[in-house]
Amino acid sequence: MVTYITIPSTISGGPSIFQLHLGSGEVLHAGDDSDVLVAFYQHSYDSHISALRDGGICFYDSGEVTEVKHERGIHHIGIPFTAATVEAVGGSARDRGKNIFVLGLICAVFQLDKDKVVGILSRQFGKKDESVLRNALLAYDAGFAYPIGDITTFNFEEGEHKDANRISTDGNTIMTMGLITASVRYGSTYLIKPWSSIMETLRSELPRYGGLYVQAEDELAAVSMSIGAAFAGHLAVTGSAGS
């Protein structure tokens, strides 16, 4: 389950971060520390190595990242994400697809269903040019088959949590629920991160409460629609790339 995700707006730029919590049962919260860190770039390594638990594993792109020796027993495994992807897909691909390479690597590490993930990739890229799906599968297979040695000695077992009532969510979801609880029933937004997921949730949920949320053609239109709803006596909301 994705327990945390941040994708910066195209305007602002910045790194994308995904946090996953795997378990055989229902995942209720993100946990306090990470077992595994995957760092594509130096800034990702520097910013997030502290979130890795003592004795955890750090997979990093050996062509991009210089590891820092720690005293917490962290196991560093350098893998040429970029070079291995280019070798698998072809020189013209440059570094495109290395995220799919890492997906294959992680699936092998955690012994996930390879064929099921291939099906997901096929649905995701099947409508694009044939070469896109072919390259994605080549990168995935290369990552899945990459020799990383025996890491079965690492403990990935589910731990007990002190507070069984904690739940897994994110800021946008909680904000959306707060807006609905506060009686917001109308509004409009231009589709842009980090507001996109809020807009999608409001579009699907507000009709259940007699409300309406509209995707506008730009941010000025979104503001105008929201102001119009407010002048009509409704509690309305809008958002943008900066809020």
Would you kindly state where each structural domain of the chain is located, as residue ranges? 2-145, 171-237
What CATH class has 2-145? alpha beta
Q: Give the model's pLDDT for residue 174.
A: 87
Q: Give the model's pLDDT for residue 14.
A: 67
| pLDDT mean for each 10 residues of the chain (243 residues) | 62 70 68 84 87 87 82 85 87 73 89 88 85 88 83 53 60 88 92 82 91 90 93 90 61
Let me know: does 118 contact 137? Beta carbons within 8 Å. yes
pLDDT (tens digit per residue) in 111-162: 888 899 899 999 888 888 888 888 889 999 999 988 876 665 455 555 554 5
- CA distance readout (Å), 214 to 34, 116, 174, 179, 195: 38, 35, 20, 15, 13
Question: Among the residues of the chain, which ranges form H helices?
Answer: 42-48, 81-89, 98-109, 114-125, 130-145, 171-181, 196-205, 219-231
CA–CA gap between residue 174 and residue 237 (Å, rounded): 15
Let me know: does 45 contact 53? Beta carbons within 8 Å. no
